[in-house]
Amino acid sequence: MEENLASQKKSLQEIQEATEKTSNPDPIGTEHALELHAMTRSEKRKIQREEEKAKLKELTFWKKIQYILMYYTWKFIGITAAVVLIVFLGHQIYVITRPVALDIVLINDPTNSVFETEVPALYGSYYEQPKDARYVIDTQFQIDPDAPYTSADMAYYSKMLAILSTESTQIIICDAKVVDYYAIDGYILELQHGLPEDLFSTFRDRMYECDGPVKDADFYAIDISGMRFTEQTGIQIEEPYLCIPTCLGEENRQIAYQFLQMISDMETDGDSSK
């Protein structure tokens, strides 16, 4: 019983002391808080930095390290993450905004192992390009309009439709089935009306005719079978045809025309070297 009374007294005494401490705060601490309250933000930060320096001066080297790690770890992590994010975004923006020298698609020739390296080398040797210019080359298309659609096929068709609807890809190399499938709906450029006269004359004997929306002409692709370009780039399509998307603007059409001129020049250069 006496122990219970003693413990109750002790508890009451602790509560009383805590209450007195709360109701009678440290006058120095209160005065300091009031001073800080009356200051501007910059003045507060200055005072806080000075107090921080004073704390660190009293600590040993390893204690300082422990203190900094304890109170500033998340700040360091946040700053590091922000720097990494900025660098990553900067690199992505740089990659995306680099000029595109050539955008070309090779369809139904997935085992071609040299096309992606040979095309930039050839094009760059004929037309000088900026050092940071990009070559966008896709050889992983599989499109067979005669075969039943699968979910994988639908991904290729969707991607192809995006290419033919946006001004990006300048050259498409494929087989006759693909030309027929897309030319009839106007996705492929009719070459008699679309090419400069000299280029059309150069490839006149290699023109591929098929049904399309243009009434007075039906030339939608160029047969590049047996040409030096075809051999050098390792194209394995039995009868490869080159076509140009209708949606291209003037700048991208000029790139397509340059590409055709390069193919023509390769034939001429080869004949003159014999």
Give me the tens of pLDDT residue by residue for the chain, a chain 274 residues long. Answer: 444 555 555 544 554 554 444 444 444 455 555 565 666 777 777 777 777 777 667 667 677 666 666 666 777 677 777 777 776 665 455 445 557 789 999 999 989 999 999 999 999 999 988 887 889 999 988 999 988 878 778 888 888 998 898 888 999 999 999 999 999 999 999 999 999 999 999 999 999 999 888 888 899 999 999 999 999 999 999 999 999 999 999 999 999 999 999 999 999 876 554 4
Q: Kindly report each contact of residues 92-98 with a partner whose C-beta sits within 8 Å and lies 24 or more positions away, as own/partner.
A: 95/134, 98/132, 98/133, 98/134
pLDDT at 271: 55
What gap in Å lies between CA 202 and CA 257, rounded to an integer? Answer: 12
Distance of CA 99 to the CA centre of its chain: 13
Instruction: State how far the alpha carbon of 216 is from the alpha carbons of 190, 213, 247, in Å.
Output: 10, 9, 20
pLDDT at 176: 95
pTM equals 0.65
pLDDT at 100: 78
Name the segment(s) of the chain with CATH classification 3.40.190. 100-272
Return the CATH architecture of domain 100-272: 3-Layer(aba) Sandwich (3.40)
